């Protein structure tokens, strides 16, 4: 079996790219980076934990992509340019195959497996190489350098990936959750709910077919961080967040931060049932949810056209009330659901 340092050298070491503001990356006790002048650093950390965030059957290259993409989404929500990332891996000795009733079912990454195991790999073999290939495909697409991290072997339990990402934003231009103003309109990008529908299909709770199935599984396994949109929204949006736990749950964070409320009237909201629940509370979409003054509507629609990305006006920010958010149907009836999204501690 390869040692920790052999695994790091083989799968996660690349030459640094000075043009990307990285002086020294993986291989020393610390990295050396060169932030741009007059920029603030934006820093975020996310965990992907077996049994909560990924499946046992997940294809490793897609998991590698997603491990980085969900962190890039945080940079998009802040209007930041991603620059550097660190990756921590806890690789567990045994596959955890116990189904989860929460967000996801698990993906196990055993340190070693028998040839008859469905993974048919070990950390010396193809699984980790494929994971790294997906991770670096995402990093190369968005110009991010891996500058460090740690890889360790753990006992039987939850394999875990921890990513810390660093980005840059011109001083004073970061998009914050707290900026929403009374009278702002609420917008969302893309097609919320697709990832949750893909998950429901894999769990046997619905049956999707054809292109719709492909789109939903792609949203689940290979999300696209909306970095171009985040940059375009600087100076336009008053607040922003990415949709990771559910549209209503994440909108709640904006409303709490700004001490306001909201009414939603969503033009393309599906009829009652699984599709509506996925849209409002499914999560794992990594679309951007943002607010902006109504006078900015033409600029936002121009962004939609330029980026070839649907952007929908779905509601209005109001003064704070006892009900943070209400959802209304096309006829004006209150259809606010009890379930708002995923919570790790419920």
Q: What is the pLDDT along the chain (346 residues), one digit of tens a residue?
A: 454 445 445 455 555 555 457 655 555 566 676 778 889 999 999 888 766 667 666 788 999 999 999 999 999 999 999 999 999 877 665 544 433 333 433 333 333 333 333 333 344 457 788 888 999 999 999 999 888 877 666 665 667 888 999 999 999 999 999 999 999 999 999 999 999 999 999 989 999 999 999 999 999 999 999 999 999 999 999 999 999 999 999 999 999 999 999 999 999 999 889 999 999 999 899 999 999 999 999 999 999 999 999 999 999 999 998 889 999 998 899 999 988 876 544 5
SS (H, E, C) 291-329: EECHHHHHHHHHHHHHHCCCEEEEEEEEECCCCCEEEEC
What is the layout of strands, in order, in the sheet containing 39-49? 39-49, 160-170, 81-92, 145-154
Calculate helix-pair angle for 210-221, 60-78, nearest 10 degrees: 70
177-328 maps to which CATH number? Answer: 3.90.650.10
> What dihedral angle (degrees, nearest 10) is formed by the CA atoms of 121, 214, 309, 241?
-50
Q: What is the pTM of this model?
A: 0.84
- Taking the mean position of all CA atoms in its chain, how far away is CA 286? 4
| Distance in angstroms (rounded) separating the CA atoms of residues 95 and 106 | 9
For residue 234, give the 3-state DSSP assignment. Answer: coil
Extents of the domains making up the chain: 4-170, 177-328
Closest to 33 in 3D by CA, of 152, 164, 229, 228: 164
Phi, psi of 124 (to 5 degrees): -85, -10
CA atoms 216, 222, 225, 229: torsion sign: negative
254 near 314, Cβ under 8 Å?
A: no
* Residue 20 confidence (pLDDT): 54
* Residue 90 confidence (pLDDT): 75
| Distance in angstroms (rounded) separating the CA atoms of residues 111 and 253 | 38
* Residue 49 confidence (pLDDT): 76
First-to-last CA distance in the chain?
Answer: 39
CA distances for 122 relative to 30, 109, 156, angstroms: 28, 8, 15
* Residue 95 confidence (pLDDT): 45
Closest to 107 in 3D by CA, of 89, 119, 124: 119
Beta strands 288-292; 185-189: pairing state: antiparallel
| CATH 3.40.50.300 is right for the domain spanning 4-170 | no
For residue 269, give the 3-state DSSP assignment. Answer: coil
Q: 78: burial class by Cβ within 10 Å (0-12, 13-18, 19+)? A: buried
* Residue 59 confidence (pLDDT): 83
* Residue 47 confidence (pLDDT): 84
| Distance in angstroms (rounded) separating the CA atoms of residues 315 and 324 | 13
Closest to 63 in 3D by CA, of 110, 123, 120, 129: 129
- Taking the mean position of all CA atoms in its chain, how far away is CA 121? 28
The runs of H, that is alpha helices, within 165-226 are 194-202, 210-221
| Distance in angstroms (rounded) separating the CA atoms of residues 198 and 216 | 5
């Amino acid at each position: 079996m390869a040692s920790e340092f052999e695994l790091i050298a083989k799968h996660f070491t690349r030459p640094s790219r000075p043009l990307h503001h990285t002086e020294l990356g993986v291989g020393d006790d610390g990295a050396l980076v060169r932030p741009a002048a007059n920029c603030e650093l934006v820093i975020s950390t996310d965990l992907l934990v077996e049994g909560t965030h990924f499946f046992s059957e997940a294809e490793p290259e897609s998991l590698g992509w997603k491990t980085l993409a969900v962190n890039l989404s945080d940079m998009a929500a802040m209007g930041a340019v991603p620059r550097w990332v660190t990756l921590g891996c806890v690789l567990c000795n045994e596959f955890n195959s116990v189904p989860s009733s929460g967000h996801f079912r698990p993906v196990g990454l055993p340190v070693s497996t028998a040839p008859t195991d469905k993974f048919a790999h070990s950390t010396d073999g193809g699984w980790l190489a494929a994971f790294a290939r997906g991770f670096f495909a995402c990093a190369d697409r968005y110009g991010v350098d891996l500058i460090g991290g740690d890889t360790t072997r753990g006992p039987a339990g939850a394999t875990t990936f921890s990513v810390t990402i660093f980005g840059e934003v011109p001083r004073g231009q970061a998009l914050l959750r707290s900026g929403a103003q009374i009278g702002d309109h609420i917008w969302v990008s893309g097609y919320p709910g697709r990832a949750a529908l893909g998950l429901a299909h894999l769990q046997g709770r619905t049956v999707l077919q054809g292109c719709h199935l492909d789109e939903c599984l792609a949203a689940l396994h290979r999300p696209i961080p909306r970095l171009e949109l985040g940059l375009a929204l600087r100076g336009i949006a008053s607040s922003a967040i990415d949709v990771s736990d559910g549209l209503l749950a994440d909108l709640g964070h904006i409303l709490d931060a700004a001490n306001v409320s909201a009414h939603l009237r969503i033009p393309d909201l599906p009829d009652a049932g699984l599709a509506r629940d996925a849209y409002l509370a499914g999560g794992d979409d990594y679309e951007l949810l943002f607010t902006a003054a109504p006078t900015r509507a033409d600029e936002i629609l121009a962004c939609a056209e330029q980026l070839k990305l649907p952007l929908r006006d779905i509601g209005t920010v109001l003064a704070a009330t006892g009900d943070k958010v209400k959802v209304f149907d096309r006829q004006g009836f209150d259809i606010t659901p009890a379930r708002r999204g995923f919570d790790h501690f419920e």
